Structure 1
Amino acid sequence: MPENSDFYPQVMQRYQTQPPPGEQSDFIHALLRVFEEKVFNAKDFDSFPVELIVDYIQRTHVYYLEKKLPEIEQSILLLSGHYEAQHPILAALRNFFHRYVKDLSEHIQAEETLLLPYINNLCEAGHSPDRFSRFLLHRQEYSVGRFLNDHHDTEDELKDIRQTIRLYEPPATNASLYRILLLQLQVFEHDLSVHAHIEEEVLIPKAQKMEKQLDIQLQTLSPLN
């Protein structure tokens, strides 16, 4: 485990175990390469089970909601104290943050209540007749395709607000807060990009493959065949 990586603390804040067990450790190592090299190759994650990918997605959701967004909010509040009350950057930041938190929270909620439970059912469907029946009921109400139709990325909005902030000069009383906020947004944007790659290029294709296999199995069981 490359603990000397600049991204090691950022990635490990999602995990409680120190050091993580074998397969999870290999997964984290692959993640760190993506964070460092800023190049994503889905094949590097082919060998990891869906359950491990889902675990990462869920841990990342908690990390965003309980750590990263509160940190950005705190920076915005601190920076606000160094501008005049009517300064346009304040309205831009506040409007952005409240809208962004709402959008990201809804995005995460949809995944936590719809997509990830559905994928868990896909994983368990082959374990017993009861679990296969549970999948069949779930399949009537949801699918990976439905998720893709409703899905949208959120990192572009961070890029937009960073560009907006740069339109204004840092406050004369504390320029470091201005730079800290820009850095936080940039780091979060990169983290979201990695998260999106893992979700869209690893988890979703794996789920679609399982879904297709189960649909084929269902067709062979149909009395019409």
Structure 2
Amino acid sequence: MNFEVQNTVGSIVAKDLRFADVFKKNGIDFCCGGGATIEAACAGKNIDPKEILRQIEEMATTNSSALGIDFNTFPLDLLVDYIEKTHHRYIRENVPLIIQYVDKVASVHGDRHPELVEVRDLFHGCAVEITNHLAKEEEILFPYIKQLVEADLSGSEISMAPFGSVKNPIAMMIEEHEGEGARFEKISALTNNYTVPEDACMTYRVTFDKLKDFEEDLHNHVHLENNILFLRAAELESRLVK
């Protein structure tokens, strides 16, 4: 794979989700910040962009027989279903559990570790906002994307949606993604990247593990939408809607 420093971070991860590990290791945002070029992203971190390209090439060469899923090849309606059944389902299953955990550790350990109270409040905010976010995608944006796919397959005409161009709800979804990304940056910073203190009990450790897993799933989820689904949906609409 031949990538250049002017390739965007998101387009590289879109080729193979495993490349996200290179960006994670170097502290580069590949989901909400996926529109930045490698050169720009590295400039903000004082990293040599050629070193990032070297690491990507090394991963591609070393693991060439185990390439990740190429989500760019998914039909858009299949990608929508994948996101709902993988990431939306994950969120709905884990939010109630994590709320119980953050509530418990804040109650038991909050006196000695007051940052846990803030973590609890941040996650409660996430629970409300992200639940509303999923509903907007599933009830408004995703059905319209499927209508675009159906019109493309059948050769039928499709009218502009009541919300105007698909770019309008997409812009709202991206803004909300950025909000959740910022929220989890705070949680990660407050927990020292989910590092448990020496006096942590098992519940404390499980809580941090679940928060870390949730953030990782969120990054992959946002990447699929921002850097693949939304771009392709906008392109399809521009071709179909005159």
Say whether the 8 Å CA contact 1:158–1:189 is kept in structure 2.
yes
- Using the alignment, how far apart are the partners of 1:178 and 1:141 within structure 2? 44
Q: Is the 8 A contact 1:96 1:161 kept in 2?
A: yes
Aligned-pair CA distance for 1:197:
1.1
- Deviation of the 1:194 alpha carbon: 0.9
Other structure's SS at 1:51 match: helix
Q: Report what 2:223 is aligned to.
A: 197
Deviations 1:162-185 (A, max 9, x none): 32134998484x533222222211
What TM-score results when the alignment is normalised by the length of structure 2?
0.62
Written as runs of structure 1 = structure 2, the 5 A alignment for 1:33-72 is 34=17, 38=21, 44-59=70-85, 60-65=87-92, 67-72=93-98
Q: Secondary structure at the match of 1:136?
A: coil
Q: After superposition, where does 1:135-146 map in structure 2 within 5 Å?
A: 135-136=158-159, 138=161, 140-146=162-168
RMSD: 3.4
Query: Structure 2 counterpart of 1:198, which letter?
Result: L
Q: For residues 83-135 of structure 1, what are the alpha-carbon distances to aligned partners after superposition, in whole Å with 9 as ceiling and x for unaligned?
A: 26696335313321221111111221221122101101101124558x63xx3
Which of 104, 116, 127 pairs up with 1:78?
A: 104
Q: Tell me which residue corresponds to 1:164.
A: 190
Give the equivalent residue in structure 1 for 2:51: none
SS of the aligned residue for 1:125 comes to helix
Report sequence identity in percent: 28
Amino acid paired to 1:146: N
Q: TM-score, normalised by structure 1?
A: 0.66
Task: Give the number of aligned pairs.
Answer: 180
Match of 1:108 among 105, 120, 134: 134
Structure 1: distance between partners of 2:75 and 2:123: 35
Structure 1: tracts of 5 or more residues without a match? 1-29, 219-225
After the TM superposition, list the runs of 4 or more consecutive aligned residues in structure 1 that deviate by more than 6 angstroms.
40-43
Q: Answer with 1 or 2: which has the greater Rg.
A: 1
Report if aligned partners of 1:75, 1:181 keep a CA contact under 8 Å in 2. yes
